[in-house]
A and B are shown apart, each in its own frame.
Chain A
């Protein structure tokens, strides 16, 4: 039985994923993807999985976002 808080976080995840799919500016898409990682981390902390939440916050919102930003700075900024 999911409470209102968890349901809000889950629907926010779907909304963020749709925004990432539609944005044409790749820099904005990467930053919004790190917000997606943060909402996942909050969801898992609330559900009682702190180890996985810490790994997702450190690795997903930290390392993956940095690698995407470096790749965008070496290639294109907007998709055609």
Chain B
């Protein structure tokens, strides 16, 4: 079992990172720290999906004059490009909302915001 964990380290480490990010979202109080946790979860998913398409000794999938056959698969890379840009878009919107919450309520700790309702 441990031999296969070492072989599949590229799959096991993103799972660990995903759960670290989930812990930060649930257990931390500050809204900005929660969004750092969400970004950690998102990059863990990107890492996992790209690791699915990697070959041993694979070269980048670009047809130049000196490109030779075992290419890493271009399909997961295309999906993750979309994912990265959508992640930055949602982070920008979330940070704008946090700035406005701070201006209206004076605090960005989740339990103090809940007391104010």
Q: Which listed residue, B21, B72, B99, touches A17 by the CB 8 Å rule? A: B21
- CB neighbours of B29 from chain A (8 A): 79-80
Contact B84 A48 (CB under 8 A): no
Interface size class of B (residues with CB under 8 A): 35 or more
| Interface class of chain B by DSSP | helix
- CB neighbours of A68 from chain B (8 A): 32, 36, 91, 95
Contact A17 B40 (CB under 8 A): yes
Enumerate chain A interface residues (CB-CB to B < 8 A): 1-2, 6-7, 10-11, 13-14, 17-18, 20-21, 26, 29-30, 33, 36-37, 40, 43-44, 47-52, 55-56, 59-60, 63-64, 67-68, 70-72, 74-76, 79-80
Contact B72 A33 (CB under 8 A): no
What's the least CB distance linking B64 to chain A, in Å? 12
